[in-house]
Amino acid sequence: MSIATLLVMCGDAERREGLVRALSGAGWQDVLAAPGLSEGAALVRGAAQACLIVDAELADTSGLAAVRILRNLCPHLKIIFTTARNTRELETQVRALGVFYYYIISADKTELVAAVEDAIGAPRPVRTGHPPKVLIVDDDPDFHVFVRAFLEPAGYGILSAYSEEQGIDMARRERPDVVLLDIMMKSTTDGFEFCRQVRRDPQVKHTPILGVSALEERMAVQCSPGSDPELFPVDGYLRKPVAPERLFAELRRLVPVGG
């Protein structure tokens, strides 16, 4: 099961379908939906860069209770709380939970679309006729050769950077569709610093980052998107050595590609 990056949780089927339709119509691909917390929580477990639309009325609990539970599950999820019936008491309770946005549902979903864009960036169009650009940030030249060998024949454009500084400069200049990021380069923290710099830059902060590293094997530490999303805010993580089919699967999840 893939991890959701945009998920609508709402117990009312008609309202849920309307929210999904509005987001899909605005250009987001693969918007997932769940009627309640139990199903929705399974879809976002381990997600570091996800946006949830949580309605006040869920199939198995209240939206307020769900937000509290989701905050414990993954504190860094961006939660947009929706309600069809606003009250001052409800709004006060919701805002006290530190949600990303409070949205009162209306026929015009422009406000919701703008809030989601602010949370995870504008939808990336399915690319047709132009290869997705993959930026590799890794100090190992052999890894660049390895990745190029199977991604370029598959139609991906490859950009190479061999240090944190080169990677940040190239990300800003080239605006890649996705970044393959090593952690240990000149130092063991270069990858973490790259993430911090990129996530603070409005030009590239929503660019998907796929961590690819042997850090766990070399230093006997756990490193994954869910372990500390503030330290390592990536959209996916693969351990080296990487099987080509695993890398292809992650790239297809992160970068919509049309025929």
Same-domain check for residues 115 and 145: no
DSSP assignment, residue 97?
T
Residue 221 CA to residue 122 CA, distance in Å, equals: 34
Same-domain check for residues 243 and 137: yes
**Is residue 198 within 8 Å of 210, Cβ to Cβ?**
no
Same-domain check for residues 250 and 180: yes
Q: Is residue 126 included in any domain, yes or no?
A: no
Q: Is residue 1 included in any domain, yes or no?
A: no
Domain end (from 120, 142, 173) = 120
Rounded percentage of the chain residues whose pLDDT exceeds 90? 53
Q: What is the mean pLDDT of residues 207-233?
A: 68
Residue 30 CB contacts under 8 Å (≥ 6 apart), including other chains? 6
Q: Is residue 216 included in any domain, yes or no?
A: yes
B/e letters for 84-118, b = 16+ CB within 10 Å, e = fewer, are: eeeeeebeeebeeeebbbbbebeeebeebbebbbe
CA distances from 77 to 6, 144, 185, 191, 230 (A): 10, 32, 29, 21, 11
Q: What is the mean pLDDT of residues 71-95?
A: 91
Number of DSSP helices (H) and strands (E) in the chain, helices first: 10, 10
Same-domain check for residues 115 and 210: no
Q: Of 209, 202, 216, whose CA–CA distance to 236 is shortest?
A: 209
Burial zone of 75 (CB within 10 Å; 0-12 exposed, 13-18 middle, 19+ buried): exposed
Residue 43 CA to residue 36 CA, distance in Å, equals: 11
What local confidence, expressed as pLDDT, does residue 48 receive?
57
Same-domain check for residues 141 and 250: yes
Q: Is residue 198 included in any domain, yes or no?
A: yes
- The domain in which residue 151 lies consists of 133-254
Same-domain check for residues 105 and 194: no
SS3 (DSSP) at 33: strand
Same-domain check for residues 115 and 138: no
> In the numeric block, which tokens belong to residue 48?
């570091």
Mean pLDDT of the residues in the chain: 86
Q: Is residue 125 included in any domain, yes or no?
A: no
Same-domain check for residues 73 and 162: no
Residue 14 CA to residue 19 CA, distance in Å, equals: 9
Same-domain check for residues 146 and 34: no
What is the number of structural domains in the chain?
Answer: 2
Q: Is residue 228 included in any domain, yes or no?
A: yes
Q: How far is CA 78 from the centre of its chain?
A: 10
CA distances from 57 to 9, 37, 222 (A): 9, 10, 37
* pLDDT tens digits for range 173-217: 999 999 999 988 988 889 989 998 998 888 888 888 999 987 666
DSSP assignment, residue 257?
B
Query: CATH number, domain at 47?
Result: 3.40.50.2300
Residue 210 CA to residue 220 CA, distance in Å, equals: 20
pLDDT band at 258 (very low <50, low <70, confident <90, very high): low
What local confidence, expressed as pLDDT, does residue 3 receive?
45
Same-domain check for residues 67 and 27: yes
Domain end (from 88, 120, 152) = 120
Q: What is the mean pLDDT of residues 46-56?
A: 81
Q: Bigger pLDDT: 234 or 56? A: 56
Q: Is residue 128 included in any domain, yes or no?
A: no
Same-domain check for residues 104 and 140: no
Q: Is 156 left (phi over 0), alpha (psi -120 to 50) or beta?
A: beta
How many other β-carbons are positioned within 10 Å of the β-carbon of residue 123? 18
* pLDDT tens digits for range 118-159: 888 887 765 556 688 999 999 999 999 999 999 998 889 999
> In the numeric block, which tokens belong to residue 249?
């699967």
